[in-house]
Chains A and B, each alone.
Chain A
Amino acid sequence: DGGITQSPKYLFRKEGQNVTLSCEQNLNHDAMYWYRQDPGQGLRLIYYSQIVNDFQKGDIAEGYSVSREKKESFPLTVTSAQKNPTAFYLCASSIVFFGLYEQYFGPGTRLTVT
């Protein structure tokens, strides 16, 4: 999966608990992204980061938070404020922010909240 690791692959949480999904890349990419994938829908952008110590909200940022303290790491926290957190979460990176450069995706984390 192109040098991007996500852990864990499966995650189960009780409603009301915050949970953090890990994303690490060894591609030396500046830009990193978090997407959410639901059945029958296209990927939706949660947050993105163009460089270290900078990140921006995507289309569906409510109930999520991120940090980018290191170039290779972009963890996503799903908070209890996210109304429907059960989904498949994908992390991606690219050399630079969006553009013509390819986005490489990690293997994903399937989060189930009950």
Chain B
Amino acid sequence: KNQVEQSPQSLIILEGKNCTLQCNYTVSPFSNLRWYKQDTGRGPVSLTIMTFSENTKSNGRYTATLDADTKQSSLHITASQLSDSASYICVVTGTSYGKLTFGQGTILTVHP
């Protein structure tokens, strides 16, 4: 069964600190992996999308990494801001035109 597991479930950090969120998946074959940011009560917004040939992609203070061999991805947030408080969702697609498999999300809270 295709699954996407994220850790930790929740994380609290102080403003200005860095953090790393993890995503492990069993989806096979693999086509692409996306990270979304979802503010409370809002729809998800795409941060990055990576295919199997990419192992790093950045979007401002967000850097995603992908290891297709170990089926792991991480999202690193640098110099966190209060506005980074949100749920971060890892999404994996199994084939070029396959359905998306969503992780349950990591809830990040940034305190001043």
Q: Is the CB of B104 within 8 A of A40?
A: yes
Interfacial chain A residues near B45, Cβ < 8 Å: 1-2, 105
Q: Is the CB of B49 within 8 A of A102?
A: yes
Q: Mark A37-77, 1 if CB is under 8 A from B, else 0.
A: 00011111100000000000011000000000000000000
Q: Is the CB of A106 within 8 A of B102?
A: no
Q: Is the CB of B104 within 8 A of A41?
A: yes
Q: Is the CB of B97 within 8 A of A98?
A: yes
Interfacial chain A residues near B89, Cβ < 8 Å: 42-43
Q: Give Cα A99 to B104, complex, Å.
A: 21
Whether B24 is near chain A, meaning CB under 8 Å from some CB there, is no
Instruction: Tell me the minimal C-beta distance from B50 to chain A in angstroms.
Output: 10
Q: Is the CB of B100 within 8 A of A98?
A: yes
Most B CB contacts (10 A, CB to CB) among A42, A45, A100, A104 go to A42
Q: Which of A40, A42, A110 contacts B41 (CB 8 A)?
A: A110
Output the nearest chain A residue to B45 by Cβ-Cβ distance: A105
Number of B interface residues in the complex (CB < 8 A): 25
Q: Give Cα A99 to B94, complex, Å.
A: 9
Q: Is the CB of B97 within 8 A of A42?
A: no
Interfacial chain B residues near A4, Cβ < 8 Å: 43
Interfacial chain B residues near A102, Cβ < 8 Å: 34, 46, 49
Q: Give Cα A98 to B96, complex, Å.
A: 8
- Where chain A touches its partner, the secondary structure class is loop
Q: Which B23-71 residues have a C-beta within 8 angstroms of A?
A: 31-32, 34, 41-46, 49, 51
Whether A108 is near chain B, meaning CB under 8 Å from some CB there, is yes
Instruction: Tell me the minimal C-beta distance from B24 to chain A in angstroms.
Output: 13
Q: Which of B41, B97, B101 contacts A99 (CB 8 A)?
A: B97
Q: List 16 A-B contacts (CB under 8 A).
A: A1-B43, A1-B45, A40-B104, A42-B4, A42-B89, A42-B103, A42-B105, A43-B89, A58-B99, A90-B44, A92-B43, A100-B31, A100-B32, A105-B44, A106-B43, A108-B41
Q: Which residues does B use to contact A, with CB under 8 Å?
A: 4, 9, 31-32, 34, 41-46, 49, 51, 89, 93, 96-105
